[in-house]
Structure 1
Amino acid sequence: MGENVQTLPYGSWPSPIDAALAAAHDGHPEYVGFVGAEAWWTEPRPTEGGRRTLVRRRADGVEESVLPAPWNVRSRVIEYGGQPWAGADADGRALVVFVDFADQRLYRYEEGGDPRPLTPVSPVGGGLRWADPQLRLEHGEVWCVLEEFTGDGPSDVRRVLAAVPLDGSAAQDRDAVRELTDGRHRFVTGARISPDGRRAAWLAWDHPRMPWDGTELVLADVDGGTLREPRTVAGGPDESIAQVDWSTDGCLLYASDRTGWWNLYRDHRPVCPREEEFGGPLWKLGHRWFAPLDGGLIAVVHGRGATALGILDPETGEVVDAAGPWTEFEPTLAVLGERSEMGVPPPEGWGRVVAVGASPRSAHEVVELDARTGRARVIGARHDDAVDPSYYPEPQIRTFTGPAGREIHTHVYPPHNPRCVAPGDTPPPYVVWAHGGPTGRAPLVLDLAIAYFTSRGIGVAEVNYGGSTGYGRAYRNRLREQWGVVDVEDCAAVALALADEGTADRDRLAVRGGSAGGWTAAASLAATDVYACGTILYPILDLTGWGPGETHDFESRYLETLVGPLAEVPGRYAERSPAQHADRVTAPFLLLQGLDDVICPPAQCERFLARMEGRRVPHAYIAFEGEGHGFRRAETMIRVLESELSLYAQVFGLNPRGIPALELAQ
């Protein structure tokens, strides 16, 4: 043992990873693209009110924020948003269209000028919103998804494909926006136009399905500036198509889970049938797991659980993955010289693929893969060790056994600090993290919020419970009508297994989650006696209220698959809701909520707390002005982490240093 190693109780280890450091590194690059030969992307700015800026990487390698504060490049379509920008090289200068979060208008920006609005503001409901833009400079338009509110209710909304003139003539005139589809489908993605310009393809789906349940691939003829004879050519109620595009020789490409795994198809024939995913859940319009290269090769993000970046040869089915340290890639890809650049001859350096990758030792970075040589390198948002990386957690990829022998995929992060050990044989406290979604997955990447706890002597276990993506449709479907059962059981099974094997202290287990994970955390406190306390962030707490009229339109019918049709099983909605069973919650808890959250509204927390009144369960409720669903401001995230640590300190008998005490009410 080194001379500088201290023996201190778990939870009291001094750490250089404070809450401010974790907050400053929250979020990651998204929505990569090319403007000419330059790679561009969006990037978070937690210390600037949580806005997202647009970043360009110039030819000399210098990264530059394109739009100053308060510009915030972020769409609110389906509330989770989607691709918020598109760009092209126009006569040697960058021309970009983007959505600003504040008013959701579409803007045009050209180098040397100020952004100019292209779309009007609507006084109705949530207004006019735009996502997934495709520039058509030769027609003087940008084609987008238009989300238009028709009333004040969250479900008073329609979505169509629309063409916005680039000359600004629609900036004050809604009638100058041309609608390309008739609104027959509740949800649509942006259109992808074939290389010859004669066909367009997009995805569509309708309530009560979510896009990972079933989508339709719609094909239409492009006649001048209109779409004619739209017809469904693939997909359906029980087949999820996650993305559609075209090969450079005009073949239709899409990712479908018809075999139980999202695999790639070219003109409806499988090109690489494997029991792994080449697609994922379409939580944001414009997610991209593959991008076609000239000559027929396809850049792909794929994997079973963790994801890799590779080049697929559809003729042989062979995939060659990029070498490098990255263990996860986000669903965003761009290829230099794509057809979206107006048919302009590709610039020198064609064959570059840009993606966003991360690992347990590095946060998300913008990665460039040369498809010709197979070499990959970081070109943007480069990870910089803000502290000694020896303080980073060292994850273990584990598979536990749950009820009925089912597998539960989990990432276990034991306490880790190079300068501290704990006395004796007492196992450490552990916090079980339930991810949001619930159709999602906890990625295996460096997260300083996890390191904040592990470096102080508190273990973390991220559970990819049944219902998580990345493991095939059957694993995903385990949660059908079982939300609040399977997720709760799987998290508890992992927690108890860690305790039984001596990894975790049975008396010092906590549960934590946000959004759908907040539901799982709250349901776990109400339905089990496994946990000594819990942290619940922007949760769903009352199924009987969360639905049409209270939450947003995209998820307003989600519970029909997660719980069951309300008309058929109304008792199930009440039986599983923590808000209906506040009397069963006896463990202390911390409840955190954004007051501007339209997905999981504050009313859910208020009803839950009203039913807890007089029960003398120690708890704290912190509501944040100006925060929505998922916290983005540095000051918010600092308070969240410090409050959470204080809760565990009080319940577990820990002594962390320099942390403000959280006041727990009775």
Structure 2
Amino acid sequence: MGKIASCGTWTSPIGSADVAEAGGGLQWIDVHRGTPWWATSRPEEGGRVGLVRDGVDLLPAPWNVRNRVHEYGGRPFVVLDTPAGERVAFTNWADQRVYLADPANPDPVPLTPEPERHHGLRYSDLTAGPDDTEVWCVRETVTGDARTDVRRDLVAIPLDGGHVRVLAASHHFMTGPQLSPDGRRFAWLGWNHPAMPWDGTELCVAEVGSTDHQVVAGGPTEAVCQIQWETDNALLAVTDPDGWWNLHRIGVDGSRKNLAPVQDELGGPMWRLGHRYFAVIAPGRYLVLRGTRLAVLDERTATVTDVDTDLPVWTSQLHVHDGIVHAAAAGPLEEAALVRLDLSNGELTRLTEHGGPTVDEAYLPVPVERVFTGADGQDIPAYVYAPRNPDHTVPEGERPPYLVHVHGGPTSRATPVLDTDFAYFTSRGIGVVSVNYGGSTGYGRAFRERLREQWGVVDVNDCATVAQALADEGTADPDRLAIRGGSAGGWTAAASMTSVKTYRCAMIAFPILDLGGWTGDGGETHDFESRYVEGLVGALPEAARRYTDRSPSHRVEHLAGPVLLLQGLEDEICPPDQADRFVAALDGTGVPHAYLTFEGEQHGFRKAETITAAIEAELSFYGQVFGFTPPDVPVLELRR
């Protein structure tokens, strides 16, 4: 038995530097002729994304392999077999241009022109063009000063320095074009406002050199999320005409076949361009993701069978070459790493170190999957991370504080993996529960659409239901409940604090706070999500009252307790304007609050020093609200 000490005062070997170190990791994976390539974020280098080939760093600082298409970015590199040998084309963050490098002697040369305005031309979802003599991709062109002044085209970029030419421009949003095996056709996905890519997309096919295209799958209520040519006349596609993302074969004539109908999600939301939810093992056999688990789909038997591994969470970066899988995978005690899996014998090799602190596993929380029941009888899945530290014991009669963690999106999900943020708190005696509220992915379209026009209601109620259930059963202290989240999770945290009395306080990071501003007309968000709220809240002007009534910025007087706000000053998705106004309205009200802003940070924090400052401030904040003094962290100054 460890030392008896109140929750929050426990000493822990997991420090803020460990949280910062784990803030990087794998971004993108590719395999070329059996050799793995990957992009990885490095918080200790200011969040720079490096490029690695088979364990060897290829591009030194200041090269930053990242792009800002849709502001979330997408696949930033492609490996090519050019007449001069193997080359890699990549996007560079500083100027958003596409460069070409020789891996044997990297000295990148630009392939695209320098834009007239900063980041005025952006490229993403890079693929190989005919005979690997061109890079095909999506190009964004900034056409004006408003955040929504953006045009997109599918373009071909010659490797010999020739002019970039337009291939197609079918929709306001598109994925990178993919060339058919015979080189006669190319295919892509497209969608228009107000749809988001998980609402409805169209699978387009065109003849090379033609300006006309045909739509062979998808529609307003069907969302194709990945495609790959199988033959000259057919594509494989993950799509959801029956409410579940399944793998289909789609003919260029519009014919289709579901290769294994299952009520499981084999795909996911297209927040970034370039996800790979499936890969071909052999004709009729495919590697897929069943939710987060690795599985094999057998077309002959129409079955999907899980692959037995000790890593339950695999990401949508699947690659298979000669029966060897390369992908990113994680588990409850280890963050994502690049792994190699031999499908013939099940041998799994970790090619990169898993993120997270290098401490005894006894200090790490083990997520327990639970399902709670909402007032309407709806299931609410969640993962509970109980306090865990072998050196300390909770005093008799004391129940631990709990943090309700709200994932972003909101069209996203929580998964049962090690989260060093969570371990930082649980190893100090503070529990965490991560909620898959209505609107989360992984549970089919019907569950995802529970949030339609109900954002700020269903998410708030589901999270409060879980928090109250933990308190009622004696797991959590009902007087020491907090809610935390970033981006859309920050919205739910703020909306909760201004509409329910469940929580004592909240940590709100880079949030949406005013729905009226977070639209194309409002001008306070980027083009990709500028009409997202129409599905989440309602169409304007009919739902205008709803926008006002639900916005935390219009409900400051209803705030249930103290708040900590964190904001990156270069955030184009949730710019600081809304947080600035919210804090200005709080000043002088007597409600304790703090507002930390960070230079050089965009949406989500990438720099080690930012991550360190943010997590330490959050712990100090909880200590001041819940009445404990955490050791070894600076005291956060609260204003009133």
Residues of 2 paired with 1:622 and 1:144: CA distance? 38
Is the deviation greater in 406-415 or in 81-90? 81-90
In the TM superposition, residue 397 of structure 1 has moved relative to its aligned partner by: 0.3
1:163-213, Cα deviation, whole Å (9 max, x unpaired) = 0010123xxxxxx111001x3310000122222222222100000000000
Residues of 1 paired with 2:421 and 2:84: CA distance? 43
The residue aligned with 1:324 is 309
Secondary structure of the 1:643 match is helix
Contact (CA 8 Å) 2:21, 2:355: kept in 1 or not?
Answer: no
In the TM superposition, residue 611 of structure 1 has moved relative to its aligned partner by: 1.8
The residue aligned with 1:60 is none
The residue aligned with 1:645 is 619
Residues of 2 paired with 1:403 and 1:161: CA distance? 47
The residue aligned with 1:37 is 34
In the TM superposition, residue 51 of structure 1 has moved relative to its aligned partner by: 0.8
1:78 pairs with 2:70: yes
Contact (CA 8 Å) 1:30, 1:356: kept in 2 or not?
Answer: no
Given candidates 635, 642, 650, the residue that maps to 2:609 is 635
RMSD across aligned positions (CA): 1.6
**Amino acid across the alignment from 2:545:** G
The residue aligned with 1:16 is 13
In the TM superposition, residue 92 of structure 1 has moved relative to its aligned partner by: 8.9
1:591 pairs with 2:574: no
Contact (CA 8 Å) 2:19, 2:356: kept in 1 or not?
Answer: no
Q: How does 1:651-666 map to 2 (within 5 A)?
A: 651-666=625-640
Q: How does 1:388-427 map to 2 (within 5 A)?
A: 388-427=360-399
Residues of 2 paired with 1:11 and 1:360: CA distance? 22
Contact (CA 8 Å) 1:125, 1:149: kept in 2 or not?
Answer: no
1:298 pairs with 2:291: no
Residues of 1 paired with 2:246 and 2:72: CA distance? 25
Contact (CA 8 Å) 1:35, 1:94: kept in 2 or not?
Answer: no
In the TM superposition, residue 31 of structure 1 has moved relative to its aligned partner by: 1.6
The residue aligned with 2:253 is none
Q: How does 1:488-567 map to 2 (within 5 A)?
A: 488-548=460-520, 549-567=523-541
The residue aligned with 1:256 is 239
**Runs of 5+ in structure 2 lacking a partner?**
251-255
Contact (CA 8 Å) 2:22, 2:357: kept in 1 or not?
Answer: no
Contact (CA 8 Å) 1:14, 1:657: kept in 2 or not?
Answer: yes
Contact (CA 8 Å) 1:124, 1:150: kept in 2 or not?
Answer: no
TM-score, structure 2 normalization: 0.96
Secondary structure of the 1:452 match is helix
Contact (CA 8 Å) 1:35, 1:89: kept in 2 or not?
Answer: no
Is the deviation greater in 410-419 or in 378-387? 378-387
Secondary structure of the 1:405 match is coil
Q: How does 1:317-356 map to 2 (within 5 A)?
A: 317-336=302-321, 350-356=322-328
**Runs of 5+ in structure 1 lacking a partner?**
58-62, 170-175, 337-349
Residues of 1 paired with 2:477 and 2:515: CA distance? 33
The residue aligned with 1:177 is 164
**Amino acid across the alignment from 1:291:** A
Q: How does 1:108-507 map to 2 (within 5 A)?
A: 108-110=100-102, 111-124=104-117, 126-136=119-129, 138=131, 140-169=133-162, 176-181=163-168, 183-222=169-208, 226-247=209-230, 251-267=234-250, 268-303=256-291, 307-336=292-321, 350-382=322-354, 386-507=358-479
Distance 1:380 1:92, change over 3 A: farther
In the TM superposition, residue 91 of structure 1 has moved relative to its aligned partner by: 6.8
TM-score, structure 1 normalization: 0.92
1:320-354, Cα deviation, whole Å (9 max, x unpaired) = 43322111111112233xxxxxxxxxxxxx23221
1:221-263, Cα deviation, whole Å (9 max, x unpaired) = 23xxx24531111110111111111225753111111111101
Is the deviation greater in 485-494 or in 196-205? 196-205
In the TM superposition, residue 308 of structure 1 has moved relative to its aligned partner by: 1.2
In the TM superposition, residue 385 of structure 1 has moved relative to its aligned partner by: 5.6
Residues of 2 paired with 1:311 and 1:86: CA distance? 26
Distance 1:384 1:81, change over 3 A: closer
Secondary structure of the 2:268 match is coil
In the TM superposition, residue 288 of structure 1 has moved relative to its aligned partner by: 1.3
**Amino acid across the alignment from 1:76:** R
Is the deviation greater in 310-319 or in 44-53? 310-319
Residues of 2 paired with 1:454 and 1:380: CA distance? 26
Secondary structure of the 2:225 match is strand
1:629-649, Cα deviation, whole Å (9 max, x unpaired) = 000000000011000000110
Secondary structure of the 1:658 match is coil
Contact (CA 8 Å) 1:248, 1:292: kept in 2 or not?
Answer: no
In the TM superposition, residue 296 of structure 1 has moved relative to its aligned partner by: 3.5
Secondary structure of the 1:393 match is coil
**Amino acid across the alignment from 2:571:** D
**Amino acid across the alignment from 2:212:** E
Residues of 2 paired with 1:359 and 1:100: CA distance? 32
Contact (CA 8 Å) 2:22, 2:356: kept in 1 or not?
Answer: no
Secondary structure of the 2:315 match is strand
Contact (CA 8 Å) 2:365, 2:387: kept in 1 or not?
Answer: yes
Given candidates 47, 51, 59, the residue that maps to 1:67 is 59
Residues of 1 paired with 2:524 and 2:118: CA distance? 14
Count of paired positions: 632
In the TM superposition, residue 371 of structure 1 has moved relative to its aligned partner by: 3.8
**Amino acid across the alignment from 2:29:** V
In the TM superposition, residue 406 of structure 1 has moved relative to its aligned partner by: 1.1
The residue aligned with 2:93 is 101
Contact (CA 8 Å) 1:124, 1:151: kept in 2 or not?
Answer: no
Residues of 1 paired with 2:365 and 2:447: CA distance? 28
Secondary structure of the 1:605 match is helix
Residues of 2 paired with 1:188 and 1:584: CA distance? 42
In the TM superposition, residue 56 of structure 1 has moved relative to its aligned partner by: 1.4
Residues of 2 paired with 1:638 and 1:91: CA distance? 47
In the TM superposition, residue 135 of structure 1 has moved relative to its aligned partner by: 1.8
**Amino acid across the alignment from 2:299:** P
Residues of 2 paired with 1:317 and 1:77: CA distance? 37
**Amino acid across the alignment from 1:50:** G
Contact (CA 8 Å) 2:484, 2:506: kept in 1 or not?
Answer: yes
Residues of 1 paired with 2:234 and 2:130: CA distance? 23
1:492-520, Cα deviation, whole Å (9 max, x unpaired) = 10110000000000000000000000000
Contact (CA 8 Å) 2:367, 2:417: kept in 1 or not?
Answer: no
Runs of 4+ in structure 1 off by over 4 angstroms are 89-93, 382-385
Residues of 1 paired with 2:132 and 2:508: CA distance? 50
In the TM superposition, residue 311 of structure 1 has moved relative to its aligned partner by: 2.5
The residue aligned with 1:347 is none
In the TM superposition, residue 137 of structure 1 has moved relative to its aligned partner by: 5.9
Residues of 2 paired with 1:625 and 1:73: CA distance? 21
Distance 1:525 1:383, change over 3 A: closer
